[in-house]
Amino acid sequence: MRILTGLQPSGKLHVGNYFGAMQPAVQLQDKGEAFYFIADYHAMTSSQDPAALRENVRELAIDFLACGLDPERAVFFRQSAVPEVNELAWILSTVCPFSLLEKGHSYKDKVANGIAPNHALFAYPVLMAADILLYDSNQVPVGKDQKQHLEMTRDLAGKLNETYGEGTVVVPEPIIREDTAVVVGTDGRKMSKSYHNTLPIFGEEKPSKKIIMKDLVTDSTPLEEPKPVEDSTILALYKLFASEADYNQMVADHLSGGFGYGHFKTRLADAYWDFFAPMRARREEIIADPGYVDAVLKRGAERAREESAKVLARVRKAVGLV
Ligand code: TYM
């Protein structure tokens, strides 16, 4: 079984990225052949800054390794190290109805958020389908915001198989974990860079904790009264970091009254900080070894190209390009 996922290098990784994609990806490393990549072509759809792209790719590589991606078990590479993905994207775009892309939520959201709608942003889901199909992927762990992209991928795979014969490409399944499908941000909406409501995985201690203490939304229930537990952003986040016993205690303390939100926020901030402590330590080790990341990505690219060459040869033959 082949498991594949990608993350865009578009700035600091946040807690939503971790629980939606990275943690499941790390856990799935043992379940099959894992292919994980840095979606640098995709990042260019919303920012065109070469120095920032180089820096963000490097940071993402370090962070994903620090979070437990094991390059002995998973193939880890940059998307652009296998430029053949663009050829498959082209082939897929010939069976992709314009109307399919016009329905894209992510495209509409990004345009609504002020990103200039270039062709690549519109065609983003086709390249994403190519990422997945180029490696005969069976399972794709992602957060819920990528569900529609996975549906489009399945549609395009189906259309290619209908047009050129069953087995031209493998139709993948999304893996979306119920409990972490949508990690909430400090304002209670989905955690997302475009909403400016993120908690970084690898920030500095004081400013990171301050985001919780200062920005996280609460209501105005007085200290002595019981606090609502439904739709509580503090509890939703605490659940991700705390043990079951600590979480149950926190719920009980909400219901009993007598604790203020400042107190709950401090507990949340400490749990969040402690959760990532082993990853922070691993990150320091990785940074201290200057050649490590480049060597990992180089080896990953070689492995990825071996696989992609096989799939692309099959597709080229099916469509009549040989
Ligand atoms: P990206 O870089 O925006 O996000 C990376 C992963 O993090 C998940 N995620 C979340 N999960 C739960 N709650 C949240 N608040 C949250 N925010 C982000 C995303 O769902 C995603 O899984 N298009 C992709 C990158 C990509 C890709 C691929 C993924 C390109 N090609 C092929 C899988 C397969 C993206 O922009 O993710």
Q: Residue 285 domain-assigned?
A: no
Phi, then psi, of 141 in degrees rounded to 5: -75, 125
- Could you confirm whether 31 is annotated as catalytic? no
Assess whether 152 and 11 both reside in one domain. yes
Whether the pLDDT of residue 300 is over 90: the answer is yes
Q: Which of 12, 13, 17 to mutate to test the pocket of ligand 1 (most atoms within 8 A of CB)?
A: 17
Higher-confidence residue: 162 or 113? 162
List 193, 209, 227, 265, catalytic entry: 193
What is the tally of structural domains in the chain? 2
| C-beta 311 within 6 A of ligand 1 | no
Assess whether 106 and 133 both reside in one domain. yes
The predicted structure's pLDDT at residue 46: 85
- pLDDT band for position 312 (cuts 50, 70, 90): very high
**Domain containing residue 258: CATH number:** 1.10.240.10
Q: Is residue 78 within 8 Å of residue 37, measured between CB atoms?
A: yes
| C-beta 139 within 6 A of ligand 1 | no
Q: Residue 283 domain-assigned?
A: no
Does the annotation list 192 as a binding residue? Answer: yes
38-83 pLDDT, tens digit each: 999 999 998 899 999 999 999 999 999 999 999 999 999 999 999 9
Q: Residue 57 domain-assigned?
A: yes
Assess whether 72 and 176 both reside in one domain. yes
Q: Ligand 1, residue 193: give the atom nearest the CA.
A: 17
- Under DSSP, the state recorded for 181 is S
Rounded CA gap, 18 and 283, in Å?
Answer: 15
272-297 pLDDT, tens digit each: 999 999 999 999 999 999 899 999 99
200-253 pLDDT, tens digit each: 999 999 999 999 999 999 999 999 999 999 999 999 999 999 999 999 999 999
Phi, then psi, of 317 in degrees rounded to 5: -65, -45
Assess whether 299 and 248 both reside in one domain. no
Assess whether 219 and 175 both reside in one domain. no
Rounded CA gap, 172 and 40, in Å?
Answer: 22
- pLDDT band for position 113 (cuts 50, 70, 90): confident
- pLDDT band for position 3 (cuts 50, 70, 90): very high
Q: Ligand 1, residue 17: give the atom nearest the CA.
A: 7
DSSP-assigned beta bridge partners for residue 120: none
Rounded CA gap, 188 and 16, in Å?
Answer: 12
**Domain containing residue 157: CATH number:** 3.40.50.620
Q: Residue 191 domain-assigned?
A: no
Residue nearest to atom 9 of ligand 1 (CA): 17
Assess whether 251 and 125 both reside in one domain. no
Cα 133 from chain centroid (whole Å): 18
154-194 pLDDT, tens digit each: 999 999 999 999 999 999 999 999 989 999 999 999 999 98
Span from the CA of 146 to the centroid of ligand 1 (angstroms): 6
- Could you confirm whether 103 is annotated as catalytic? no
- Could you confirm whether 214 is annotated as catalytic? no
> What does the H/E/C string look like for 55-88?
HHHHHHHHHHHHCCCCCCCEEEEEHHHCCCHHHH
Q: Residue 15 domain-assigned?
A: yes
Assess whether 100 and 179 both reside in one domain. yes
Q: Residue 193 domain-assigned?
A: no
Assess whether 102 and 226 both reside in one domain. no
Pairing of strands 74-78, 173-175: unpaired
Q: Is residue 217 within 8 Å of residue 226, measured between CB atoms?
A: no
Residue the block writes with tokens 């209501």: 219
Span from the CA of 272 to the centroid of ligand 1 (angstroms): 21
Rounded CA gap, 141 and 20, in Å?
Answer: 8
Residue nearest to atom 5 of ligand 1 (CA): 7
Q: Is residue 126 within 8 Å of residue 92, measured between CB atoms?
A: yes
Residue nearest to atom 4 of ligand 1 (CA): 7
Does the annotation list 193 as a binding residue? Answer: yes
Q: Residue 190 domain-assigned?
A: no
pTM: 0.96
Span from the CA of 17 to the centroid of ligand 1 (angstroms): 7
Assess whether 138 and 225 both reside in one domain. no
The predicted structure's pLDDT at residue 290: 85
Q: Ligand 1, residue 143: give the atom nearest the CA.
A: 20
Assess whether 271 and 298 both reside in one domain. no
Closest CA to 280 of 170, 204, 217, 166: 204
The predicted structure's pLDDT at residue 51: 97
Residue type, 86: N
Does the annotation list 16 as a binding residue? Answer: yes
Q: Residue 294 domain-assigned?
A: yes
| Residue 63 belongs to domain spanning | 2-183+290-319
Residue nearest to atom 17 of ligand 1 (CA): 16
Residue nearest to atom 18 of ligand 1 (CA): 17
Assess whether 53 and 126 both reside in one domain. yes
Residue nearest to atom 34 of ligand 1 (CA): 5
Assess whether 108 and 149 both reside in one domain. yes
- pLDDT band for position 114 (cuts 50, 70, 90): confident
The predicted structure's pLDDT at residue 115: 83
List 110, 209, 227, 265, catalytic entry: 110
